[in-house]
Structure 1
């Protein structure tokens, strides 16, 4: 019996020793793996150039998470054949490659957040291993901070910052389609550090490596750079860089069949595109291109009996001095009616026009055939016109009164595109909202831009809801819906009425942008007055929170923690302009009732 018991104990002991997993009992392990050594001599210098493996040893079993995304090798080693561990945990990391290393060069392997212990996934953050094929390991470094000019709420999840900083060896022509000579990831606070650098002249860039291939993709990723070469003859710190949206090189992409014709697509926001028919294959057509848009709409007159057959079209396009010819086959979509609809909702803000839109570009309207009535009986005088900047829309202006209901009747064939007309009548019922449901805001700018700019209010999805193109130091918005907004300025430095993105190839910085460091909260019958010094370094750290639904408000009982729109307050739920509706602390804005 005793032998049997001892046999069970020995079996259990062997199983415990052989298992690599979570130990039972005791405090939770919070300590990351510890580096013990490598297959390279401890001095890590004079490493043979023909070495084919780097092996790093640790004090416990480890695993590698997203190693392809995390591992950065500077200078790059191209032909990596194997990385261990893969599926099963080990007590070492092995990187095997075919490249012959460069002479007198310091190499570094930055593992980011890839190395984790097997039990609790404790991360050995930004583990960096360096060695040299020369007499010494280079000790020069540069460090600094990268900020994203378009990251409105600084919403970067922990360990999800994909921004990288890279150095290219400086020369007259730099191939940015290759990986930088030195490269490092930016941490979640925007800090970067490039270590073990050989002294010399370099080109410094930073980019949002969204596809994590360590190569800058123009137009798809944000970019920041220094125009002048960076001379590194000693360590440099406190370098400041700013990421901005980048511009793609202009080129033709494709042609698609759409309602009423074809859509010609480009990359790179061409300023102007000219379209011409080749051998009259387009027949009767109209071209619409909005400046700096990446698409051109070509409206085609139906081809009569051949309408249902595929037809070969040839046309030329010209962008600046560049000309080319395109051939495509066009088969019209099934007959699509021209329609109009109200996309703005049935409640119209006071002092605003009524707007309806079409699925076709509108070329002509006949408002003399229309009728506008109040309460279905009283005829109202009005004016109507096609929106110049958006010919898919028509605005109807009249002496609308708050709280009144109106009916607009648009008979068939009184709205026309180039080759189509509406084939039925439409009636739009709408009501003018009361100004009591809206708020106001005023911004007083200190150190404003010297050129014109767009002053924008954005919603929670960062879509522009309201904007003004101006150069005034005082900006006012009347009749704003009771919501929360992000506030942004885009400066039109060259006043071409287009916000220009960064272009690394041409060494052109993006035009300036500013983000207000607070969320703008609009409440009914309140006017918010804000002073904004554009030279401030304050950053917006809050996010717009969705207001509770009506059902949720009822459940909450509308306590003093929220105002009637669901936004937080401090219990001073009045419209007199007194108190701090943001709750607690001193704030700099004024609130006025109106």
Structure 2
């Protein structure tokens, strides 16, 4: 009897274990079915999701629903739909997107306008769940009327000064140009990574075209530092002219009108620089320091000032800048620790020369430059070797502060020179001296330089600021309104970027536009490729300045 009972107990335990493993297997099966995972191994999925169906159908007319369902051929997810999804005409409230498996639901929040074509752009908002492949270029069109509008407008957005494309601009269509300040656009688009944009399915009508780099994400030009572009004349789209191409916009930042202190920083031992947004007209500087002797110098534009504080006992600089109604009290510590660039102990007087790759062009002066003004030279510690001769080295001030010094000896093309500046040859205003340095240079021969001749066509009737630049060297000329030829002589060989500014207000510099006055920025011309200047050669170029 006892053996019989034990046998029953064993069988019961076996049956219980079978039930346990069966339940565990079912649980694992359901768990696997409920979790969508990327399969291991094999090639990566590079195929973007494709829309398999839409309810209502894409390009539907007489549309009256407030919900759209898009179904894809694989499981999808959403990627930042608030910034990626655009709908035109631009709504007061953006649509809401949700995803469930292979379906994306779009809930339209704004009431739909009658007889209007709507176009939804999804950008990269919809991606597959395995490799994040976006359904790029996906869009959906519908009309609340009996037909789809088909007008289009396209172009390019770039920088007004550099002429290079921007990938940050919103491009917008308005019924009134003044709406850019405080009203949402009728249609909106975003440039692609090459600066191109295109409006499609636009209703016939009259529109003002604007571009904006929107710093506060409200689609309005209401922040002073926002970059903008605009056409003063409207574009008219109609059945007869349904397509407009090459509507190019060039963005600029308006010139500031309110003075502001931008930055104060230490740039060398007891040397402080303060920068301002605008040039100061008649600045007054009041030094508040009780320790040390402070001098200062403005730059040529008077938008930056450098202070030199003598005396090792001085540990800070405090001062007041006043100019008309503008006034600011500023301060800078002169001794600090723990910063990446600690200038408080940098006392070495460093010299640099105007020779580019140890060369100076015929007719150019040889200039020594330094950050801290030089107070005195000891010429007995300078050796100047010209060709095979040793000559006295004489330097004279090339500026008011003593930061630029001109070699008085006149060099001739082909001359080779070596300047050996021994330790202590120059002493700056703080009493610190130069270290030993050797500078070799030569004035290149006339057959080693080149000439650039630019023939101008369709002159705009204003002075032209013409520049030719490499990373190391820049040449600039101002051409008279009637002059149809610009000649750069004695240029160092190289590949030069060319630029022409039409100086409308004749102030000698590029001037941006003013939106409220409907003033466009001064026109800038560039060419797509650098121009090569060769030695002993006249490089010639014809340039059409037609607007």
Q: Is 1:70 aligned to 2:81, yes or no?
A: no
Q: Is 1:316 aligned to 2:322, yes or no?
A: yes
Residue matched to 2:411: 400
CA gap 1:315/1:63 in 2 versus in 1, 3 angstroms: same
Residue matched to 2:476: 467
The alpha-carbon deviation at position 383 of structure 1 amounts to 6.2
CA gap 1:266/1:214 in 2 versus in 1, 3 angstroms: farther
- Quick check: 1:207–1:223 contact (8 Å CA) kept in 2? yes
In 1, Cα distance between equivalents of 2:402 and 2:275: 20
Which digits, 9 at most, give the CA deviation of each residue in 1:472-495, with x for residues without a partner? 533333444443232222222222
Alignment of 1:402-441 (within 5 A): 402-407=414-419, 409=421, 420=430, 423-424=433-434, 428-432=438-442, 434-435=444-445, 437-441=448-452
- Quick check: 2:51–2:70 contact (8 Å CA) kept in 1? no
Residue matched to 1:166: 172
Matching residue within 120, 140, 143 for 1:129: 140
Residue matched to 2:53: 36
Alignment of 1:49-60 (within 5 A): 51=66, 54-60=68-74
- Quick check: 1:338–1:358 contact (8 Å CA) kept in 2? no
For the aligned residue pairs, the C-alpha RMSD in angstroms reads: 4.9
- Quick check: 2:503–2:522 contact (8 Å CA) kept in 1? yes
SS in 1 for 2:519: coil
The alpha-carbon deviation at position 90 of structure 1 amounts to 3.8
In 2, Cα distance between equivalents of 1:521 and 1:385: 35
SS in 2 for 1:504: coil
Residue matched to 1:374: 386
Equivalent residue pairs, number: 497
Residue matched to 2:247: 240
Alignment of 1:8-407 (within 5 A): 33-34=50-51, 36-38=53-55, 43=60, 45=62, 47=64, 51=66, 54-64=68-78, 67-77=81-91, 83-85=97-99, 90-95=101-106, 99-101=109-111, 103-104=113-114, 107-116=118-127, 124-131=135-142, 139=149, 141-146=151-156, 148=158, 161-170=167-176, 172=178, 174-175=180-181, 180-187=185-192, 191-197=196-202, 202-207=207-212, 223-230=228-235, 235=242, 237-238=244-245, 240-251=247-258, 252-259=260-267, 260=270, 262-267=272-277, 270-277=278-285, 285-291=295-301, 295-299=303-307, 301-302=309-310, 307-308=314-315, 310=316, 312-318=318-324, 323-333=325-335, 334=344, 337=347, 339-344=349-354, 347-351=358-362, 352-360=364-372, 372-374=384-386, 377-379=389-391, 384-387=396-399, 392-401=403-412, 402-407=414-419
Give the TM-score, by structure 2 length. Answer: 0.71
The alpha-carbon deviation at position 186 of structure 1 amounts to 3.5
Which digits, 9 at most, give the CA deviation of each residue in 1:427-463, with x for residues without a partner? 553220543554443322233443333322333x6x8
Alignment of 1:470-549 (within 5 A): 470-471=479-480, 472-535=483-546
In 2, Cα distance between equivalents of 1:361 and 1:244: 40
- Quick check: 1:458–1:487 contact (8 Å CA) kept in 2? yes
Higher Cα Rg, which structure:
2
In 1, Cα distance between equivalents of 2:157 and 2:321: 44
SS in 1 for 2:314: helix
Which digits, 9 at most, give the CA deviation of each residue in 1:223-255, with x for residues without a partner? 431113556666452352231432353441444
Task: Select between 515-524 and 21-30 the one with higher mean Cα deviation.
Answer: 21-30
- Quick check: 2:454–2:543 contact (8 Å CA) kept in 1? yes
- Quick check: 2:421–2:436 contact (8 Å CA) kept in 1? yes
CA gap 1:240/1:197 in 2 versus in 1, 3 angstroms: closer
Q: Where in structure 1 are there 5+ consecutive unaligned residues?
A: 1-10, 537-594
In 2, Cα distance between equivalents of 1:474 and 1:254: 41
Residue matched to 1:442: 453
